[in-house]
Structure 1
Amino acid sequence: FGVVYSAVGGGQLFIDLAMRMVGKSRGGGAKVAIVGSSLMGTISGSAVANVTATGVFTIPLMRRTGLSAERAAATEAIASTGGQLMPPIMGIAAFVMADLLVIPYAEIALAGVFPALAFYFALFASADLYARKHGAGTLRDEDFEGIAPMASRIHMLVPPVVLVGGLVMGYSAQIAVMFATLSCLLVPFLNKATHYRLRDLPSMIFETGQQAAVIAVPIAAIGIVVAVAIQSNLALKFASGLISFGGGSYVVSLALVILGCIIMGMGLPTVAAYIIGAILYVPAMESLGVEPLQAHFFVMYFCILSMVTPPVSLASFAAAGVAKTDAMKTSVVAFGMCAVAFLIPFAFLADKALLFQGSVMQIAIAGVGLLFSTVIWAMGITGFIVRDLNRTERALLLACGAAAMVTQTGSLIWSASIAASVLYVVLHVVFARRNNHHGHGAARGAR
């Protein structure tokens, strides 16, 4: 579906939508990359493929607004990686998760809403604050000249709607994707502006086969590993061994799971790494008292984050190649920029309401608290709100943001962290504006 939809113009539509939505704001180049790549990521299923497809357009845009090559490449790598987390069409691993848990994919997509929003809230807030701090400009008028009118292409949103609708209505992923792909081939002919050439069909089929082979070969090999693990009871033995090695410690055992997921994700497609992780690590986490949905999301999340984790961060390397800059520097910058993403899985371990498990009120409070805490973290990591922050202020915000993320919603630490963050931000804004007002008054008096 992703290959065909991109080939008939759907991918460019997402980029153009992002340009219209956020391109004219401060630091618009980075924001276009974040919004556009997040949309593209929902149909590509591969961080590296997403980078190579959108990075050739978004990275030069970011460079024109004043970002360094490393930061531009890192922003694209992170945004493309997060696309596999973004509902309603998440990466292939999410569909596998639905099969393993024997629940409808719609429940997986719903559970992924707040983890994905938190990921992109933090990235978007960091891009905005960084632009304000360093004076990054907006995109030029000529950057918008090549964008075709949206009205003549709005029907190209039908294929994703067909896919999402099929999944929500309870059809299998295969059936929903089949009808969505069929709509990709028919819908463009509703308007002359979106016609494609029929002679391009063979290349679409060939590229689809290529992408399927990249995933199918390692999964076929992993099938042998999975069969052996099940027949020999290896999974349970590994789980007990992991807990024993961690000394029965919840934190140490989770650290070992994270390490294993990231190492596997460095050398395997995300879905392949997730399948192995689900077989080996999920039973260990369940033994520690973690519920199945939380455990599966935790494993999948870190397998995805391996794409931007040094020393082998494939998405960062691909983005560095597009930007023609140092791959390892880009990888380090990307890791620092998305450090908050490594805390988000602990948030939904601490409170399952973040995976839409609980009452509406519990889910709403937990979700808003998580989004707020990621923005607070972004302020601390960027070192700016309405003026530059000193080290103490940054440390305070980082500590409050992290504490609010990894503790149970409504707990004493969560409440104190949220309250302290709100109080500090309000006082910071009030005093900064008062100082600016006094400064302007003194300047007028001097004149």
Structure 2
Amino acid sequence: MRDLAPPLKLALTLWLAAAAGIHLYFGGFGFPEPITMRGFHLLVFVPPLFLLYPARAAAPRHRPSIPDWLWAAAAAAPHAWVMANWAAVSDRMEYVDPFTPTMVVLAVLAIVTLLEATRRAVEVGLAWMIIISLAYMQWGHWLPGVLNTRNFAPAEILEASWLVPTAGGVYGPLTGIVATTIAVFIVFGAFMQGSGTGRLFSNLGAAAAGRFSGGPAKVAVITSGLFGTMSGSSVSNVITTGAMTIPLMQRIGYRPAVAGGIESAASVGGALMPPVMGAAAFVMAEITGIPYAQIVVAAALGAVLYYFAILVAVHVEAKKAGMAPMAAADIPAWREVAQDAHLIIPIAVLVWLMTERWSGNFAAFCATVAMVGIAFLRARTRMSWRAILDSLASAGLTMAPLAVSIAGAGIVVSALTATGMVVALGGIIKDLAAGSFPLLLLLLAVTVLVLGMGLPTTPSYIIAAAIGVPQILDLGSKALGVPPGDLLLPAHLFIFYFAVLADASPPVAAAAFAAAAIAKASPLVTSLHATRLGIAGFTVGFAFLYDPGIMLRGSLADILLATGIQVAALTALCAAYAGFLLRPMGVPARLLLAAAGLAAAFWHDIPDLLRLVVAAGALAVVAGAHLAARRT
């Protein structure tokens, strides 16, 4: 991103702050017509990207070029036209009313500028996926077999990709959810950072875990999980918390790649942590029609287990290496933590309003207003007008790349739906699974991880859900003997977890690469450590479908049994990898724990109680041997 000269930098800061402020206002007092809101959202956030992000590495770094200004003007034109003609756009019959030459020109401008903005500010892989989707609509009728599709007229492709607000494309429902609920939550997250809530989370993590063996690593895990409630990006999570925690971990003895892996695994998990689970969770609510509060409840225990596994992993590694806790001078006193404790109140307000079934945007609006008011109670957290402006501008800067990535994902989904490729790809995966539900899930998990190599989490989840969820509902209802409706939320959570984990999984892992840069370690080795530390994401992802208790469904006994299986399995797997439980282990003990942990986590054909006995029994045998050796 450019470091702009003061006059233009101030102008863009004010522009982004005003745009974020208007979104916040609408969240509290009501949104305009959907097509108007979507047009406004893209109008205010797409053009600035051409001024903020250079077209190439050799482009000027402190000012936009004349072509950049032309790109920005071209990006504004189609969205300004939609806002000016919102009534006609809302009333037109899709694919029936003429798609005029003016609309054709504007559609081309909208798609081309969206592609360029995506290439510059998001991921070049997403831009290529959009291009491939459009090319498939144009020339797919030449392909043989299952890939063959009907012949689309160019005007029909442009209309489907741009101006079909009820189905997909640039102005589809996905852009709608980003322009409303997600935008207001991003503003709330920015105000959390601006008010000093980040300092509260950092101090809380250090005070709670800093005194224990391997303290800095545990602080990194706790702090990154808490930061995930206000950060929409795993990479920004790494940069924010990793700059402090990675050097601390290296100082007490963690290898650079391991320190980076711990930070990236913990930062990626921020998107799994309620009450704010990132943009993809809000899209999930929009796609499924399931209230967001219900999604949060279902995902809560899985998120706790994810961080439990990372804490176990860093604990056994620290004990094995004899690592010291943090230096006493680096650990804040509890009274210092208490000085910021009032900043928890706005988060409680958010959770309460959502559990009372208020809309997400209104809950986030009230929580944001409460954050400003509550922060005013103490001088150290009081937000000045400059802090408020910076928070709004930060929110706008976060929204802009998200706006184009979601609009681009809308084009891909529109192409997949219009061509029937959703059914075709789903059929291919289903045929490869050959009626095996576990194999189907494995193929879908690999598909999502591969998509995540070139796509951000939310577009990856959207595309994979369109392909995979119908297959899970069809085959899963037969394999598990439950109605498809009962599998809707577990299926989406399964896809969601693997879309999140893709940010830390090799060979392309954005969060792990950012952590590796801080740690000065190999990006590939760092991502491998992040993957094994995030093992709970894989086990919990499958548990959503096989163990309903993990979503707090069923009786208390069902919930406790599902939780116990995961706790025992994850502890066994983490200890086996580290080679340490109560003391260093030899190869036979490690193999025993690894086999027991994998069986408990993934062998769903045996009774649940037996899975728990297998993992817990193996832990008991190894721990008993260690205790006996210690007494001897």
On whether the aligned pair clears a TM of 0.5, the verdict is yes
- Aligned with 1:343: secondary structure? helix
CA distance in 1, matches of 2:394, 2:578: 40
TM-score by structure 1 length? 0.92
Decide which moves more: 193-202 or 318-327.
Answer: 193-202
- Displacement after TM superposition at 1:428 (Å): 3.2
**Whole-Å separation in 2 of the counterparts to 1:185 and 1:200:** 10
Structure 1 pair 145/41, CA: closer, same or farther in 2 (3 Å)?
closer
CA distance in 1, matches of 2:219, 2:437: 40
Shift of 1:148: 7.2
CA distance in structure 2 between the partners assigned to 1:365 and 1:423 by the alignment: 15
Question: Is the 1:47–1:84 Cα contact (8 Å) retained in structure 2?
Answer: yes
Say whether residues 1:319 and 2:515 are aligned partners.
yes
Separation in 1, partners of 2:424, 2:390: 47
Is the CA contact 2:426–2:468 (under 8 Å) kept in the aligned structure 1?
A: yes
Pairing partner for 2:493 from 297, 300, 305: 297
Measure, in 1, the Cα distance between the counterparts of 2:304 and 2:541: 13
2:630 corresponding residue in structure 1: 436
Structure 1 runs not aligned, ≥5 long: 439-447
Question: Residues 206 and 332 of structure 2 are in contact (CA less than 8 Å); yes or no, is this contact kept in structure 1?
Answer: no
What percentage of aligned pairs have identical amino acids?
Answer: 34
2:436 corresponds, among 249, 253, 256, to 249
**Aligned mate of 1:329, from 504, 514, 525:** 525
Deviates more, 1:396-405 or 1:361-370: 361-370
Query: 1:58-137 to 2 correspondence within 5 Å?
Result: 58-137=245-324
Write the letter of the residue equivalent to 2:438.
Answer: V
1:263 partnered with 2:450: yes
Structure 1 residues 48, 170: CA separation in 2 closer, same or farther (over 3 Å shift)?
A: same
Task: Give the drift of 1:248.
Answer: 3.5
Q: 2:550: which partner in 1?
A: 354
SS, match of residue 44 in structure 1: coil
2:557 is the alignment partner of 1:370: no
Of 403, 421, 438 in structure 1, the residue corresponding to residue 615 of structure 2 is: 421
The one-letter amino acid of 2:430's match is I
The whole-number CA distance in structure 2 between the counterparts of 1:71 and 1:423 is: 29
1:124 counterpart letter in structure 2 = L
Say whether residues 1:396 and 2:592 are aligned partners: yes
* Amino acid across the alignment from 2:615: S
Distance 1:353 1:424, change over 3 A: closer
Equivalent residue for 1:341?
Answer: 537
Matched-pair contact (CA < 8 Å) for 2:453–2:509: yes
Query: What displacement does 1:434 show?
Result: 3.2
* Partner residue, 1:15: 202
Distance 2:620 2:423 in 1: 51
Deviation at 1:232, TM superposition (A): 4.2
- Determine the structure 2 residue equivalent to 1:163: 350
Which of residues 414, 433, 451 is equivalent to 1:227? 414
Query: 1:441 corresponds to which residue?
Result: none
Shift of 1:318: 0.7
Deviation of 1:413 after TM superposition, in Å, equals 5.5
Provide the residue aligned with 2:578 in structure 1. 382
**Alignment CA distance shift 1:431-1:243 (3 Å):** closer
- Following TM superposition, by how much is the alpha carbon of 1:309 offset from its aligned partner in structure 2, in angstroms? 0.6
Structure 1 residue 87: Cα displacement: 1.9
Matches of 1:239 and 1:169 in 2, distance apart? 38
- The structure whose Rg is larger is 2
Q: Give, in whole Å, the separation in 2 of the partners of 1:157 and 1:61.
A: 27
**Cα distance between partner residues in 2 of 1:167 and 1:269:** 27
Deviations 1:388-425 (A, max 9, x none): 111221111111112112244xx746444432433343
How far apart are 1:138 and its partner, in Å?
Answer: 0.6
Normalising to structure 2: TM-score of the pair?
0.66
Gaps of 5+ in 2: 1-187, 478-486
CA contact (8 A) 1:317 1:327 kept: yes
CA distance in 1 between partners of 2:490 and 2:603 (Å): 15
**Which stretch shows the higher mean deviation, 383-392 or 22-31?**
383-392
Matched letter for residue 382 of structure 1: A
Q: Shift in Å at residue 436 of structure 1?
A: 2.8
Structure 2 contact 299–551 (Cα < 8 Å) conserved: yes
The letter for the 2-side match of 1:421 is A
1:191 aligns to 2:387 (yes or no): no
Q: Deviations over 1:302-341 (max 9, x none)?
A: 0000011111011101111122222222122222333343
Residue 185 (structure 1) shift:
2.2
Partners of 2:534 and 2:464 lie apart in 1 by 22
CA contact (8 A) 1:404 1:415 kept: no
* Comparing 366-375 and 75-84, the one that deviates more: 366-375
CA contact (8 A) 1:89 1:164 kept: no
Contact 1:7 / 1:204 at 8 angstroms: preserved in 2? Answer: yes
Shift of 1:225: 2.5
Q: By how many angstroms is 1:145 displaced?
A: 5.6
Deviation (angstroms), 1:247: 3.3
Change (3 A) 1:91 1:307: same
What is the alpha-carbon distance in structure 1 between the residues aligned to residue 608 and residue 314 of structure 2? 26
Is 1:212 paired with 2:406? no
CA RMSD in angstroms, aligned pairs only: 2.0
**In 2 relative to 1, CA 345–51 (structure 1 residues): closer, same or farther, beyond 3 Å?**
same
Q: Which amino acid aligns with 1:323?
A: A
- How far the C-alpha of 1:147 sits from its partner, in A, is 8.6
